[in-house]
Structure 1
Amino acid sequence: MMTRKRRFIPTLVISFCLSLAACGGGVTKQEMGVIMDLAGKQRMFTQKMTKEILLIAKGINVAENKKKLRQTAILFNKTLIGLFDGDSELGLVKVENPHIVQQLNKVADLWREFRNNVDAVLRGNTSIAVLKKTAQQNLSLLKEMNRAVKMYERGSHSTLEQWMAVTINLAGKQRMLTQKMTKERLLVTIGIEPAKNQAELKRTVSLFERTLAGLLDGDAELGLPGTKNTLIREQLMRVKKRWNEYKPIVTKSKLSQAELEKAAQINIPLLKEMNEVVQMYKGHSSQ
């Protein structure tokens, strides 16, 4: 469990840092690409952990999902520390922007709370009380981590072109949406605020589809220019193919246990294909 003490951030910052390059001693394009990728991936981990908790509660591949949950929690924790202090293994450099550090402290506080649910489930406690706390707290953790990513995006414009920062952010967000919609499907099935989560699932599906189309052909409102890069377009079409397999299952009104198991299996290849898109954009950004 994370033991970092909360950092003190002065209320008044005399010299406001307008960019990560100014605050972090000069972040390269490659370093910024890694930061955007891994900070964005943290959003996905919040949803992946929640999904894994719910799969365990439903009795789906319990041993395997406990192993995955433990691994996801460890990686979330390691990445969060790396965003604070840098991590050579992950390729993260320390960024000194005080506003981002302050935001990451909010994430760390919420993570300490959420980690209690992870630990409880790993000990075998999948009570409705734990599941309800998980359902509530994961959203706060996701929201604050997303704010951190947006701060990185805004601060990266001196290093990355604005369209590239937005594209990496939203492509990375797609990874999170693959896990979020699976989580919402499970919450509906378990009976935790089913009407609310059914509505959220509908919105998540719609946003995933819109963003995928925008990554391919552009979406001015989302700030996406689209891409003409043949390799990236081909990879996005692989994502679309996986999505066309997954959507009919995740949007079905009622799912059997076997269908839930199938959904849990299919969403991982979808996540992997979407992650490959992010890596391609990240590589392109450093050129």
Structure 2
Amino acid sequence: MDPIGKKLLDIAKDNLGYTEKGDGYTKFGDWWTKTQDSDHNAYFKTAPWCDMFLAWAAEEAGVEEQAGQFAATVDHAKWFKKHDAWGKEPVPGALVFYDWNGSGDVDQIDHVGLVEKVDGKTLHTIEANADGYKLMRKKRDMDSVVGFGYPGKVKQEKYTPKHSAPAPKVESLTGAAPKSQTGETIPTGEVPAQEVLLTGVLAFVLCGTVALAAGRAAAAKAPTASPIRVRKRGKHHRVPVEMPVDLTPADFDAADAGTTVMPVLSLAAAHEAEDREFWGRIAPLKEDDELAFWDDLHAESTLTGAGEYASTPSFR
């Protein structure tokens, strides 16, 4: 028993006895006109309906892709041949195609039905439009048979969305030649200009993404406020103090001029990095007296010849 054909037989048994109207109208032809024919041609409403019934039954059973949906028996038989599901052996559940003249020619097919049982050379079938008007059981010999279509042998085509594609290989992003498991470089042909351009664009996007992430991480770590409270220079910086023997103004100038090299993320990020370094250096001086001492010491080193403070402040 063909497994897909069995489903068609179950639908056919449930509809045995259906008879077309006086003018040839059938619900199967009406269904074909409304849902399958793109032109909605009213001709099919009263046309011979042996194959349109099978198309309707296939939809009812959910096996359209394996049973096929046709209104013309010749096209249906050729469809089975195309899918390597055509043969001469009678099998229950197979579709049987007839030529009443016995020519055996696919192009001369007149009628189609479903094989329900095989008894020697006699076929027991269920056929729509049998005797020209009814869905009924029939007994047929093999003389008029052109061939059989086996829906269970039709392979279902797996649907692949058009937008899906395999993930790009690392080599396509980096431009590096692929390597074998032994580590040897596999020779490749010249890369087309379009692929080189695409690789460059992808590399630029990846680098930009990494740089942006690094910049955001650095900004997130930057303190929103200084770790030490310092009063502005002025009121509490009145008495100059002596400079330690082992330090000179040049030492302070050299230290003040030193700059830590930072990645060029942005001007704001560079300023924040410089501020963090400064506050980190004076973090041990948390006592106000010690901080005042070093602040006054720096201020004294920047006094002008006239005894007044220089225009550049020492600490904020």
What TM-score range do you get, normalising by the shorter chain?
under 0.3
User: Which protein, 1 or 2, shows the higher relative CO under an 8 Å CA cutoff with sep ≥ 6?
Assistant: 1
Which protein is richer in helix relative to its size? Answer: 1
TM-score normalized by the length of structure 1: 0.21
More strand by share: 2
TM-score, normalization by structure 2:
0.19
